[in-house]
Amino acid sequence: MTLTLSPPSTAHHGMVDSPAAAIAARLHRSGGGRGGALSDARAQFEAASRLLGLDPALHAVLSVPHRELTVMLPARLPDGSTVMVAGHRVQHSLARGPGKGGIRFSARADLDTVRALAMWMTWKCALFDLPFGGAKGAIAVDPVGLETAEYERLVRRYARAVAPITGADLDIPAPDVGSGAAEMAWMMDAAPATSAGWGTVTGKPLSLGGSQGRAAATSLGVASVALLALERAGIDPREATAAVHGFGKVGRGAALELARAGVRVVAVADVRGGVHAGDGLDLAALAAHVDGTGSVVGFADADAITSADVLTEAVDLLIPAAVEGVITHENVDRVRARIIVEGANGPITSTAETALRHRGIDVVPDLLANGGGVVVSYFEWVQARQGWWWDAADVEQRLAQRMRASWQLVAQRASADGVDLRTAATALAVERVAEAVRARGSEG
């Protein structure tokens, strides 16, 4: 079933020629994404379907979202005027259990991007054998344009608007780009009593039933899979070099973990620029610099480069950990890494990945590489349902086991079927979801 309410609109009221006008423009820049996320997600699904010889009825069920909800939410600007921003929640499949997926807070978050991310979440949960379906949400807003109190009110409005289709047994939101523990706490608090509870959302503060290890889970997962990919390629981590594009929640932790394993991280970038040090960056000092200034730019112990330059460094390992669509047909010929591990969702377009494959560059897909976050979100949900919390060492051990087991399954499937890692991972996941749909007897 597909339910769409209140299609996105950029109508606003009370706007005047003032700094607020620029803020409003940012709030409504929701269609400016890379444009290819949904096409890429569908192309990956089609490749897996062909490999599996998927039944046409199952293909029809899994090729579109199960449910979509779009709501319009008022946001009051600092000058007193009001704009309406779109909020989305897309549930791609609930065949294996409640929906699971983050909420993105970005002015670039359009509905097609959310559809793609929801589909990827379906496959990701299935690949790691979690009892969840796939979902994703977004509020098309730049939080920088709102005062803190109004931003909190907007998040709470969104939580109440999507409450009919979310909850611990229906669909469990989590943080994503632009959101964190604070937003999840507001959402949990705003949920109606019928769906409230510590299992309503994940990625919460520890004081509200969050899990040890959740904040670092995606980074740890990316780093562990990157090390396994180096091992598969016969590269000693202590002799390997790496570049990390994105030094936020995912990239920063992944870079630090790789450095602890002996990998020499020579280049790092954020949205404002990049830094390079041939002998390896002092990541602890860089992290302290970022904490103090908000960017890697200006770090004294490295050479300044552009953010785009980091993607074309001659390294053993490249981790695009920022946003989708950063490696495209325009720059793929300049990419010189031996292995690319996708820390972000969809950082490589389908066209670019085909070119990389022809050049013998291995791509470890986001579906596998950045699954640590949803794995530990599952752990948080389980702990909340049981009312029993694990210590950090237990969480990390369980996460490492899941990441290694899934890596081994994907690598074995890729070798057995003679396909790339993405097709192998997607095929494994689609197979599991299709079996659940078939068992339910809901393929039509």
- The tens digit of pLDDT for each residue in 192-218 reads 755 557 889 999 999 988 999 888 899
Listed range (32-41, 119-128, 425-434) with the worst mean pLDDT: 32-41
Domain 217-360 belongs to what topology? Rossmann fold (3.40.50)
Amino acid identity of residue 72, one-letter, is M
For residue 443, name the pLDDT band (cuts at 50, 70, 90).
low
Residues of the chain with CATH 3.40.50.10860: 12-42+52-208
Band (345; pLDDT cuts 50, 70, 90) = confident
pLDDT at 3 over 90: no
| 177-199 average pLDDT score | 82
> What is the predicted pLDDT for the residue at 28?
41
pTM for the whole structure = 0.85
Are 265 and 275 in contact by the 8 Å Cβ rule? The answer is no
| CA max distance for the chain | 63
217 near 378, Cβ under 8 Å?
no
Residue-averaged pLDDT of the chain: 88
Higher pLDDT, 230 or 16: 230
Indicate which residue of 124, 136, 204, 249 is catalytic: 136
Read off the pLDDT of each residue in 138-159 and give the average, rounded to a whole number.
91
Q: For residues 124, 128, 130 and 134, what is the CA-based torsion angle, rounded to 10 degrees?
A: 0
> Which pLDDT belongs to residue 11?
33
pLDDT for the residue numbered 80:
87
Q: What percent of the chain has pLDDT over 90?
A: 76
Residues of the chain with CATH 3.40.50.720: 217-360
Is the predicted pLDDT of residue 33 greater than 90, yes or no? no
pLDDT at 27 over 90: no
Q: With cut-offs at 50, 70 and 90, classify the pLDDT of residue 319.
A: very high
Residue pair 270/307 in contact (Cβ under 8 Å)? The answer is yes
The CA angle 380-191-200, to the nearest 5 degrees, is 15
Q: Mean pLDDT, to the nearest integer, of 85-105? A: 96
* For residue 29, pLDDT beyond 50: no
pLDDT the model gives residue 31: 37
Q: Which of 396, 432, 429 is nearest to 47 (CA)?
A: 429
- Strands 264-270 and 273-276 turn out to be antiparallel
Whole-number pLDDT of residue 193: 59
Share of residues in the chain with pLDDT > 70 (%): 91
Q: Helix, strand, or coil here: 67?
A: strand
- Is the model's pLDDT at 256 over the cut of 50? yes
Helix or strand (DSSP H, E) at 270:
strand 264-270
Residue 87's DSSP bridge partners are 71, 139
Residue 442's pLDDT is what? 63
Range 301-323 average pLDDT: 93
264 has a pLDDT exceeding 60 = yes
Minimal CA–CA distance to 340: which of 243, 265, 264?
Answer: 243
The answer to whether residue 44 scores a pLDDT higher than 50 is yes
Residue 120 has pLDDT above 50, yes or no: yes
According to CATH, the topology of domain 12-42+52-208 is Rossmann fold (3.40.50)
Q: Work out the pLDDT band at 386, boundaries 50, 70, 90.
A: confident
Sheet containing 303-305: give its strands across: 303-305, 273-276, 264-270, 241-245, 317-320, 339-341, 362-364
In sequence order, the β-bridge partners of residue 139 are 87, 105
Does the pLDDT value for residue 4 go beyond 50?
Answer: no
Is 249 noted as a catalytic residue in this protein? no
For 156, list phi and psi in degrees, rounded to 5: -65, -40
